């Protein structure tokens, strides 16, 4: 089975801190994604990556950056956390760019910024 793991289930940070959210997949997938999920707004795509060192902006990239130095790992970085970044963050991976490929999601990280 494909496994997507995220470094923490729950995280509490203070405003202005630099925050790293880590995601690892174990199935040699090419694509990886970061979403955030908020009540009433659903899941929104922040960034995605088609390959190592490649990144593409999603729908809401402001305030975030990403890093993909190895194929299996995709990191989401909040350079200076703010309270409006309190959210559930979900990572996903898929085998390739084909539009029919399913995405496999991790369990999520619930981030609270105080």
74 binds other proteins (CB under 8 A): no
Which of 92, 93, 111, 113: binder of other proteins (CB under 8 A)?
Answer: 92
Contact assessment for residue 61 and residue 76, using Cβ atoms and an 8 Å cutoff: no
State the Cα–Cα distance between residues 47 and 25, nearest whole angstrom.
16
Report, in Å, the least distance between residue 25 CB and other proteins.
Answer: 12
CB closer to other proteins, 67 vs 101: 101
Q: Is 58 helix (H, G, I), strand (E, B) or coil?
A: coil
DSSP string of 25-55, one letter each residue: ESS--SEEEEEEEETTTEEEEEEEESSTT--
Report, in Å, the least distance between residue 108 CB and other proteins.
Answer: 5
Which of 34, 104, 111, 113: binder of other proteins (CB under 8 A)?
Answer: 104
For residue 63, with 0-12 CB atoms within 10 Å meaning exposed, 13-18 middle and 19 or more buried, which class applies?
middle
Report, in Å, the least distance between residue 26 CB and other proteins.
Answer: 15
Question: Which residues would be at the binding site for other proteins (CB under 8 A)?
Answer: 4, 31, 35, 42-45, 48, 50, 58, 90, 92, 94, 97-108
């Amino acid at each position: 089975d494909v496994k997507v793991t995220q470094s923490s289930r729950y995280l509490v940070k203070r405003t202005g801190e630099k925050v790293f959210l880590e995601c690892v997949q174990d199935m040699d997938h090419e694509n990886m994604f970061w979403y955030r999920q908020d009540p009433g707004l659903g899941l929104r795509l922040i960034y995605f990556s088609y390959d190592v060192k490649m990144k593409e902006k999603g729908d809401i990239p402001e305030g975030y950056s990403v890093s993909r130095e190895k194929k299996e790992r995709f990191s989401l970085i909040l350079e200076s956390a703010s309270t409006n970044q309190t959210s559930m963050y979900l990572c996903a991976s898929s085998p390739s760019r084909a539009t029919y490929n399913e995405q496999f999601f991790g369990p999520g990280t619930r981030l609270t910024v105080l």
